[in-house]
């Protein structure tokens, strides 16, 4: 291990402190550190080189990647090493980005665990590609809807209410909220035509839905949150609508760089990262928060859809 003085001089840099705290929890590649820290690869590589040169981190080859971790410390040095790490931890408490690093590390760990999921994604991609009599996505969706227990559902940013009508086939009640008077009028008329007495359309904003507090079992945002002026406020409002034990489901775009979406689709936000979504949900009070990328478009600009879940 490096001398105490040299070690202390190295942790005078916030980035190196963040790296050490992360490597204390998990062995990580440069690419994973880049994803977590949101810093240029050259910066991270330079800091790792300094830490490695001082004996504070070590690395190993794993396939095409090089993984970094804290070194194994001989028994005679263990006590002083733990004291050093306690100083690193204390320094980290003063760095505001460390909390976000912890959330981002959770996302990276989950991505690792879901490597095998690529097989099932590929399998799902084949569904419907080859004709088999009687097999369809609609049939599968209808089957799953029948398994859904009767609930009071708030569909926020419902648009013309296509999804609301599907849910109304099984739900106890569906309250569809949209900020467009024309959409609300169109959806309400359509629901009336189709005889949905348990589907009600209401005019309102995502940040202040016109629904009684603690009256809903499930809040749904389907490709709506990136249209909200204040997404975090919309999620917090959704939390207030839910009964204890209720759940929130969000389907939205993963963060992207397609600026034309602001004009073409009136998007306020260019999607959200998994870390941003987790932070907003947890800040609102949701627990057992999960995120997952559930769809990747093949055509440019290759939009990706993120599913996020949380419980009250």
Lowest mean pLDDT across 1-15, 68-82, 266-280: 1-15
Report the distance separating Cα 297 and Cα 216, nearest Å.
Answer: 33
Q: Region 78-94: what's the mean pLDDT?
A: 89
Query: What mean pLDDT comes out for the span 61-75?
Result: 88
Which pLDDT does position 211 carry in this prediction?
A: 97
Burial of 28 (C-beta count, 10 Å sphere; 0-12/13-18/19+):
buried
Q: Give the residue with greater pLDDT, 64 vs 244.
A: 244
| Residue 65, CA atoms < 13 Å, CB-side half-sphere | 10
What angle do the packed helices 14-25 and 97-113 form, to 10 degrees? Answer: 40
Tell me the per-residue pLDDT of 143-176, one tens digit each, with 9 for 90 and over.
887 888 899 999 999 998 989 999 999 999 999 9
pTM for the model: 0.74
Instruction: Give dist(CA 4, CA 84) in Å, integer.
Output: 8
Q: C-alpha angle 269/308/200, rounded to 5°?
A: 80
Beta partners for residue 265, in sequence order: none
- Can you give the pLDDT at residue 127? 54
Residue 110 is predicted with a pLDDT of 83
Residue 5, pLDDT score = 66
Q: Give the model's pLDDT for residue 132.
A: 58
pLDDT of residue 139: 77
Between 142 and 122, the more confident residue is 142
Domains (range + CATH), the chain: 4-113 (1.10.10.10), 135-311 (3.40.50.150)
- Kindly tell me the sign of the dihedral angle through the C-alpha atoms of 49, 55, 57, 59: positive
**d(Cα 153, Cα 228) in Å, to the nearest integer?**
20
pLDDT at 32: 94
Does the pLDDT value for residue 2 go beyond 70?
A: no
């Amino acid at each position: 291990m490096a001398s105490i003085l040299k070690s202390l001089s190295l942790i005078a840099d916030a980035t190196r402190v963040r790296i050490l705290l992360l490597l204390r929890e998990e062995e990580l590649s440069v690419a994973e550190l880049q994803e977590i820290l949101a810093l240029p690869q050259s910066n991270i590589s330079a800091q790792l080189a300094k830490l490695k040169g001082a004996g504070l981190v070590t690395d190993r080859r794993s396939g095409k990647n090089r993984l970094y971790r804290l070194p194994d410390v001989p028994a005679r040095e263990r006590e002083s090493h733990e004291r050093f790490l306690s100083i690193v931890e204390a320094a980290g408490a003063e760095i505001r980005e460390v909390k976000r690093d912890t959330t981002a590390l959770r996302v990276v760990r989950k991505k690792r665990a879901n490597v095998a999921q690529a097989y099932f994604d590929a399998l799902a991609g084949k569904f419907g590609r080859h004709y088999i009599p009687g097999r369809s996505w609609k049939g599968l969706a209808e089957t799953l809807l029948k398994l859904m227990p009767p609930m009071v559902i708030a569909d926020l940013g419902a648009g013309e209410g296509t999804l609301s009508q599907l849910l109304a086939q099984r739900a106890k009640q569906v309250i569809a909220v949209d900020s467009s008077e024309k959409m609300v009028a169109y959806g309400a008329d359509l629901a009336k035509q189709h005889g949905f007495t348990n589907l009600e359309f209401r005019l309102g904003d995502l940040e202040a839905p016109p629904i009684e507090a603690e009256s809903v079992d499930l809040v749904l945002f389907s490709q709506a949150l990136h249209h909200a002026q204040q997404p975090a406020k919309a999620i917090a409002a959704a939390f207030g609508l839910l009964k204890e034990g209720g759940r929130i489901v969000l389907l939205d775009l993963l963060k992207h760089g397609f600026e034309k979406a602001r004009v073409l689709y009136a998007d306020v936000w260019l999607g959200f990262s998994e870390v941003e979504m987790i932070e907003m949900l947890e800040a609102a009070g949701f627990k057992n928060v999960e995120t997952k990328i559930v769809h990747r478009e093949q055509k440019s600009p290759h939009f990706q859809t993120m599913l996020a879940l949380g419980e009250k």
